[in-house]
Structures are given as structure tokens and as C-alpha cells.
Structure 1
Amino acid sequence: MELRQLKYFITVASELHFGRAAQSLHLSQPALSKQIHALENSLEIQLFERTKHSCKLTPAGQKFLETAHRVLHEVDEGIQITKQVANGQIGRVRLGLTEATLFCLALSILKTYRECYPQVDLVLTSGGTEAHVEALRTYQIDVGFVYLPIREPTLCVYPLYKEIYIVALSTSHPLARHRQIPLQSLANEPLIVYPRSLAPVFYADFIKCCEQAGFFPNIVQEAELAQTRLGLAAAGVGITFVLADMQNLSAKGVVYRPLIGDFPTLKLALARRQTESSPVVHEFLKVLRTTALSTNRALEK
């Protein structure tokens, strides 16, 4: 039995006339009759009662008509789903977000993507660069936000833009009255920073910038999460630094101020496995990169 025979059968059942059905199908009447006979032979049942001028369905033919409609509908539906999968419109993407992208960039990305691809299931996790690299290597995520440089030959990396730091301090701190804060103004201030053990290169660059500004930083606390550092700043424990995008995160008792002077920046990028073959992942990357780069902060090539 062939799918085309089911289509021919449905057409004949609709017209109840081989001549009209053949004309509708752009076939000769003998060719159509031959295909219907072949279908009946394969099923070993008679589908039509034929007369010289017309035909009608047998009881078995009436029942088989329901089956034929259902089979062709399921085949058409399966073809459409297959095409959607091949075009990256259906599936699942596991995305690793950084703390900053979780609170800003992710909002616009997810809104844009879900509008375009409502049938894709997005699974979100958060973490740092090292965690995302390891998660990509071990197939726990499909795409991850990372900070450059990274050295992992199994990954493809797509640079996005530079993220800059700003100062976060208690609303009651004297420096909160300033619209901008020079780095050298922090010479005698207690500072809360990202842990050295988690970002040794960034930590070293931070120390170097402070020394170039004429002082060695007075680090009183290290904390991985920006929300923790903001809480400590609000409590008056010290002054901290967060990425500029995180000023969208409301923190009671804290104000944000631009920083004047040389200070380390972070280069945000996207990473995926070089061997990634999933159409839905590749399509997601296209949307994600376009949305991220629309910030007009693209890195220089």
C-alpha cells in the first residue's frame, strides 16, 4: 500500500465517480482504476461497489475511509513537525547565564526568542565562566555566556561586547553625593570584591589598576554573588563593584555611580561545542547573538 493510493481512494470516495476523480487527480481513468484495484488487492477487501456509471463505498470501504483520513493527517502532521525540527523551531535549548546577563540581557533575549519560537523549551541555569565551560564539555548545557579569554579547543566562541564596572555604595556614604567617583577616591575605603580564587586574572588586573591610581586596595571582604556584595555595601561594610548592567537590579540602601579611571572590563561572549549539530541550538544562537549585539556595544573585530 502506498500513500498516493490512499489519496486516490479518498478522492474517489469523495466524488463517487472514477471519471471525475481521475480528472481531479490529473490521471487517466484506467490508471486510477488500476491503483484502486491494487489497493484493494493489498488489503484483500473490496472498497467500492461499482456500476457502469457510478460507484459507492462498501461498509468496509466506509470504515477504511476514516483510517485513510487519519493516516494522511498524521503523515502531514509528522512532516510539518519534522520540518520544524530541521529548521530549529521545535526542541530544547539549555542556556547557561552569568549573573549579570540573568538580570538584564536575558530578559530581552528570552522575550524575543519566545515570540519567534514558542515551541522551543528553554532550560536556564546560572554560573561563572569555568562552570559553563565544564558544563559544555560534559553536555549539561548547549550554549553558555562566558568571559574571555578562555582556552578550550572543543568550543566555538562568539564575542559580544565589553561589560564595564560601576561603584555600588551605601546611600549614607559621603561619596554617594558625587555623580561620578574617581578610582583614587577609594584609596582609604574598605572594599568588597569578587573572590581572587574564582577570577585570578581579573583580581590581578584590579590590583594593578589601583596601584596605578596611587594606592593598594583595602580589601575587607570577598563575595562571589553581586547580590551578596550589594547587601554588604548597604550594611556599610564597604564599597563594591558590579557590572553596569546590574544597576537595573534594585537594591535597598545602595546607590550606583560611574567610575572614573582605568579599571578592568569583561569581554562577554557566547560559547557552544564545536561538534554541536542540533538545528534548534544553532537557530537559538542566531537570535541570541542578534539580540545581544543590538546593544551597539559589539567588540571590535
Structure 2
Amino acid sequence: MDRRRLTCFVALAEELHFHRAAARSHISQPGLSQQLRELEDQLQVQLVYRTKRRVSLTRAGEVFLAEARKILRTMDEAVHLARQMDSGAIGQLVVGATAPALFIVLPEIVKRFSEILPRVEIVAHDMTTAEQEAALRRGDIHVGILHPPLDDPSLACREIANTPFDIVLSERNPLARLPHLTMGDLKDERFVIFPRQIGPRLYDHIIALCHDAGFSPKEIVEASPAQSIVAMAACNIGIGFVASRLQHYARPLATYRRLEGPAPQLTLGAAYVRDNPSPALQKFLDVATEVGAFVQ
């Protein structure tokens, strides 16, 4: 159904005057008459009675007027939705996040993003860095919050946060008497760390810092999420590594100490397929960068 013909008909039906309807439609009066004739020919019905003194609608014209208004509204809504989709204002964004990222930054990112683009649905999945890289290549997720760097040149990664690891330990541990700790202080301790597959490079960096301090961990217990690490430290099973003060869970028998000197840092990045033009993705990256800047 031709939109121009419909708008001309609606204008004539509401004005019941060819000159006024033509002016409203930004068309000449003969042009308006031509549009009406073509519409009636298309429908094979007469829509308008016209005499020298009066313009009125036929019964078919009255019925068609109501439907023409609906069609025009539907067309306008379709255009509006298409433009919103193209601008990234509506749709769905699928996000992967590692366990630390899921807790430390994702809730604030989603809250801020939803305030800016409320009609874009965020779907989040708990995934390791390696799982996110594979999911990005397959197109299963649009963006991942993970631990850089990445090896795949088809993926880009924007660093959004860098926060130091703290040590969680039992109040019964003699190290709890110290106001702060260094890596060297940990030489005789059993380590409780996140599983290596969550962040292989970060895991290896922690071990390398131990070697730089002159020792190798006597034993490593892998645990996740951070609540499990805190609980195991409270049991005096070992000392745990937790990133960000947001993971300082209030747990009886557990206490926290900041590491001074060379210490591991948790780096979070937002990864995506390089050259992805999605406006919603670009806005998500901007929001993630803004939120990440305040992580401690």
C-alpha cells in the first residue's frame, strides 16, 4: 500500500476540501486528485463523493479511513523501530564474564547501561576467559569481560579496570598480626587460588611473583568463586588471593591484608570481535570503561 496515497486520502477525508488537503499534503490540487484516483483504482471502490460545493466520503471511504489511519500508524512504528534497532537503542546484548568480573564490575555496568539504553536487554553468562574467546569467534556472545591479553588477532580488547589482589587469611594465622604483607611473607603458606583456566596468564603471573620473591608455593588449592576462597582461608586451610575490596566478604574468622611491593594485579578487559559496528556494543564498551575506572 503506497504511503503517499494513504496520507493524501486521510488529509482529504479530514479536511473535506481539496485545496486545504493539497496544501496540507504539500502537493498541487491536481496532484491530490491524481493520488485519489490511483488509490480508488487500486482498491476498485469509490472512496469520495465530489461536487462543486461539497466533498464527502462514501460508506466505503468511511470504513477505509479508519483502516488507513491504522496502516499509517503501523508504518510509522515500523520506521521508528527500524531506526532504533539501527542506532542500537533496542535489541539484545549477550555478555560473557569471568567469575571475578561478574561480581566486581558487571552489576554496575548493566545498571548504567540500562539507564542509557533501557530497551536493550542484557543477557549474561558466567564463562572463563578461554570460553569467552571461543564464544566471541562463534558469535554466541557480543562482548566478554575477561582477563587480557588475548592471542586471537580477530578479537579486540579494551582494558577497563586494574585492581590489586589482597590476601585473605585466618585470624589464627600468625601473619594476621602484621598490618600488611609482602610476597616474601607468604613463602611458607599454602595458597588458595582461583582455578588456572579462569585466567591462565594471571595465575602464572602470581606463581612468577613467588619465584621472584625466592620461593615456590608449597601447595596450591584451587577454589572458586571468591566466597569459597574466603571460607577456606577462614578454615585456616591456606591464604587466599582475592581481587578488589568488593570481595572482602564479612566472614567471622577471616581477615584481609593488602600486599605491598610487587604484587599481582587483576586486569579486566572488554573483548569483542574487531570492527563490530554495533552502536549498542560501542555504548557498552564506553560504560564499562567508565565503571571500571572506579574499581578498587
- What is the TM-score with the length of structure 2 in the denominator? 0.90
Tell me, yes or no, if structure 1 residue 120 matches structure 2 residue 120: yes
Task: Determine the structure 1 residue equivalent to 2:100.
Answer: 100
Structure 2 unmatched runs, 5+: none
User: SS of the counterpart of 1:46?
Assistant: coil
Deviating more after overlay: 106-115 vs 197-206:
197-206
Deviating more after overlay: 128-137 vs 277-286:
277-286
Tell me, yes or no, if structure 1 residue 219 matches structure 2 residue 239: no
In structure 1, what is the Cα distance between the partners aligned to 2:205 and 2:26? 76
Give the 3 Å change call, closer, same or farther, for CA 53–171 of structure 1 in structure 2: farther
Give the 3 Å change call, closer, same or farther, for CA 38–184 of structure 1 in structure 2: same
Structure 1 unmatched runs, 5+: none
User: SS of the counterpart of 2:147?
Assistant: strand
Give the 3 Å change call, closer, same or farther, for CA 123–251 of structure 1 in structure 2: farther
Tell me, yes or no, if structure 1 residue 183 matches structure 2 residue 145: no
Deviating more after overlay: 248-257 vs 82-91:
248-257
Q: Is the 8 A contact 1:171 1:255 kept in 2?
A: yes
Task: Determine the structure 1 residue equivalent to 2:229.
Answer: 229
Q: Is the 8 A contact 1:232 1:238 kept in 2?
A: yes
In structure 1, what is the Cα distance between the partners aligned to 2:44 and 2:196? 79
Q: Cα deviation per residue 1:29-82 (whole Å; 9 max; x = unaligned)?
A: 222222212211121111111121221111100110011101100000000000
In structure 1, what is the Cα distance between the partners aligned to 2:169 and 2:190? 11
Give the 3 Å change call, closer, same or farther, for CA 68–139 of structure 1 in structure 2: same
In structure 2, what is the Cα distance between the partners aligned to 1:75 and 1:217? 67
Give the 3 Å change call, closer, same or farther, for CA 24–198 of structure 1 in structure 2: closer
Tell me, yes or no, if structure 1 residue 22 matches structure 2 residue 54: no
Task: Determine the structure 1 residue equivalent to 2:161.
Answer: 161
Task: Determine the structure 1 residue equivalent to 2:294.
Answer: 295
User: SS of the counterpart of 1:237?
Assistant: coil
Deviation, structure 1 residue 261: 2.5
Q: Is the 8 A contact 1:85 1:280 kept in 2?
A: no
**Alignment coverage as a number of residue pairs:** 296
Task: Determine the structure 1 residue equivalent to 2:40.
Answer: 40
1:90 partner letter: I
1:192 partner letter: V
In structure 1, what is the Cα distance between the partners aligned to 2:205 and 2:115? 41
Deviation, structure 1 residue 212: 3.2
Deviating more after overlay: 194-203 vs 81-90:
194-203
Q: Cα deviation per residue 1:106-157 (whole Å; 9 max; x = unaligned)?
A: 1221111111111111110112211111111222211001222221122122
Give the 3 Å change call, closer, same or farther, for CA 219–153 of structure 1 in structure 2: same
In structure 1, what is the Cα distance between the partners aligned to 2:194 and 2:249? 18
- What is the TM-score with the length of structure 1 in the denominator? 0.89
1:72 partner letter: L
